[in-house]
Structure 1
Amino acid sequence: MAAADESYLEGQNGGFVSYMIEIVEKWTGLEILEGSLNYLDYLLWVFTPLIIVFILPLFIILFLYLSILFLHVYKRKRELQVAYSNNVWDGARKTLATLWDGHATIWHGYEVHGLEKIPDAGPALIVYYHGAIPVDYYYFLAKVIIQKGRTCHSVADHFLFKLPGFKLLLEVFSVMHGPQEECVKALKSGHLLAISPGGVREALFSDETYSIFWRGRKGFAQVAIDAQVPIIPMFTRNIREGFRTFGCFGICKWLYEKFKWPFVPIYGGFPVKFCTYLGDPIPYDPNITAAELAEKAKQAVQGLINKHQKIPGNILRALLERVHWRQKDE
């Protein structure tokens, strides 16, 4: 009799515990979660073959593009051997330039128009519009190294020099953060020098309307006057369609203006058509002021934008230009 009572109590307790567990699962949603996980497992099981079928061709395409990139390097094998025999850093620069040039060709169908305006020897100041990420400028540097055999010195924002691991890259490619005296010194030494007067502010807060954010800057113009060199304007078509920013956030603008922190979300990497245009050089004029020269350079860059860029920029249109590109407006 006692054994029967114990069995009854155990059944009652077991039923009660099961009942309470069921209530807790329903109350916390664990029952639904478990069902959802089972459903996701089922979907993964169903679609795994399809995923594999689509991913494998992508690997083949990636391998083909890597092969093309290798051929770009191999095509210049003799030039690279000569460069390395002269100086290890010359060889390194030319190797990296070849890789960047290959990437530019494959991913953006990159072109440069007006490269003949860059002198084969002697100084010049290149002034350009700054994209959200200035990959077009990197491609341009590669073209100058490969086709002109020259290294172009560059002026970059201070924050770039604080990034871990960037020191060697900046040194090898002659990147400086100023001041004006160093820029003048580089030009008087016969080097090319490139500056974006809009800098990080233009990179972060311009948009598909391609507004110029120079805010009255004229230091670059004073550099050109002091060094007695011409200014060559430069602009890249569709650079804003390759990478874009969410620069409209007020907090992002406040952070940059207050602390110079370039914390603005950037998205993109789209394989749009890039084409860099170099305008006619603005010759040295001893009778012009820095303010007047700065305005003249700004108007020259604006003229390139007006002539070569459809505004507002459109990502889909820029993508289509990869397969339907006509130089009717050059």
Structure 2
Amino acid sequence: MFQWLHETILNWAHAIYEFVPEYLLWLLLPFFILFIFPIFLVFFIYGCVIFVHIYGHRHQIREAYHTSYWEGARVAIASFWDGVGNVWHGYELRGIENVPDEGSALFIYYHGCLPLDVYYLISKLVIHKNRSLHCVGDKFIFKIPGWRPLCKLFSITSGTVEECTEELKEGNLLCIAPGGVREALFSDPNVYDILWGKRLGFAKVIIGSKTPVIPMFTENCRESFRTPEWGRSFFRWIYEKTKIPLCPIYGGFPVKMITHLGKPIYFDFDTVTPEEVRKTVKREIRMMIKEHQRLPGSVWRGIAQRWSSTSSKKKNSDEPEQAELLQRNGAGTTSPTSDSEDIVVLRRDRSGVEDDDDEVDELGGI
């Protein structure tokens, strides 16, 4: 690999030398030395750091290759993304103890602009739990050239309600973002609004598989990458008409990212309705946003958190007041007891903002 990279760089340099006048090369050399070379140098250094991180997992990678050729590839890629998360976003995972060592669980999460947090979570679970996290993805990602083998390797599917239910019954871990692409591209980073509409597909999966739900939220997931405010309504109109995600994205900011996994939520699966499941899970996600995300969202604050040793502490001095407001809004406990129906009843009185979408079985996705 390194020999190929070395030969590629030499070929590029030779091509540039042939087609660019020599006087222009000498003219641009100071600019290259002062501005371009330091950028390449930083990328090379971070590449070495990521390589060292991967090398630290070399024993796991070797064992995985002995088990299965594809399992080795999965662990190697997971080690790479785990290194990227540590280096660039100082990524942390809190609540991993809520993930069962065996058996099924369904992760329901708020969708950031790009699902980097899901990539990092998959990597953590592969490395530290030796478990694969299956994901529901939007249909358009399977149409991108070259992505299908990677989706197959990491069990990413655009599965139906029946397929997802069957996966959970088989004892797998599965994650779904009910907001899907709509939430990813058009949620406001100032308020982190949840755009689930009236989707019921994920709720039917929960009831059909009788699986506990692990709510998930990642701090600053909308600060690393963003969509521009200008033209957002126009791009959303295009998406609603065509389902094509044409909205531009910018960013790559090194903000602090911390994924929080909540306690598993259990329901009385024999009596609960899909509408009640959706409302309960949605409120849990909203509570996590209020607890862990400082609003309005700020890229600069996220970067400051990345380099601060005291990141992810309590956000405001008025948190007791916020906690009181949450209780008024019907935030109950989610302990796994037989009173799961009471959890739903506690939350029925809370009015929330719903989208105008028709009631559908769509699952959303990464």
TM-score, with structure 2 as normaliser: 0.76
Partner of 1:123 in structure 2?
104
Equivalent runs, 1:94-243 vs 2, <5 Å: 94-208=75-189, 209-243=191-225
Partner of 1:4 in structure 2?
none
How large is the RMSD of aligned CA atoms in angstroms?
1.7
* Shift of residue 329, structure 1, vs aligned partner: 2.6
Question: Is the 1:131–1:202 Cα contact (8 Å) retained in structure 2?
Answer: yes
- Is the helix fraction higher in 1 or 2? 1
2:41 to 45, 60, 70: 60
CA distance in 2, matches of 1:327, 1:130: 20
* Shift of residue 51, structure 1, vs aligned partner: 4.1
What SS does the corresponding residue of 2:214 show, helix, strand or coil?
A: strand
CA distance in 2, matches of 1:250, 1:301: 25
1:306 to 290, 308, 311: 290
Letter in 2 for 1:216: K
Letter in 1 for 2:314: D
Cα distance change on mapping 1:285 and 1:270 into 2, 3 Å: same
Question: Is the 1:207–1:244 Cα contact (8 Å) retained in structure 2?
Answer: no
Letter in 1 for 2:278: A
What SS does the corresponding residue of 1:233 show, helix, strand or coil?
A: strand
Letter in 2 for 1:268: G
Question: Is the 2:134–2:175 Cα contact (8 Å) retained in structure 1?
Answer: yes
* Shift of residue 194, structure 1, vs aligned partner: 0.3
Question: Is the 1:97–1:141 Cα contact (8 Å) retained in structure 2?
Answer: yes
Partner of 1:258 in structure 2?
241
Letter in 2 for 1:56: F
Pair member with larger Rg: 1
* Shift of residue 186, structure 1, vs aligned partner: 0.3
Unaligned runs of 5+ in 2: 1-22, 316-366
Question: Is the 1:273–1:319 Cα contact (8 Å) retained in structure 2?
Answer: yes
* Shift of residue 58, structure 1, vs aligned partner: 3.1
Letter in 1 for 2:307: V
CA distance in 1, matches of 2:300, 2:268: 43
Letter in 1 for 2:302: A
Letter in 2 for 1:312: P
Question: Is the 2:292–2:312 Cα contact (8 Å) retained in structure 1?
Answer: no
**Identity among equivalent pairs (%):** 45
CA distance in 1, matches of 2:267, 2:66: 38
Question: Is the 1:207–1:245 Cα contact (8 Å) retained in structure 2?
Answer: no
* Shift of residue 322, structure 1, vs aligned partner: 1.2
Q: Deviations over 1:135-158 (max 9, x none)?
A: 111111111111110101110111
Partner of 2:71 in structure 1?
90
Partner of 2:257 in structure 1?
274
Unaligned runs of 5+ in 1: 1-40
Letter in 2 for 1:207: D
Greater length-normalized contact order (CA 8 Å, ≥ 6 residues apart):
2
What SS does the corresponding residue of 2:222 show, helix, strand or coil?
A: helix
CA distance in 1, matches of 2:76, 2:307: 29
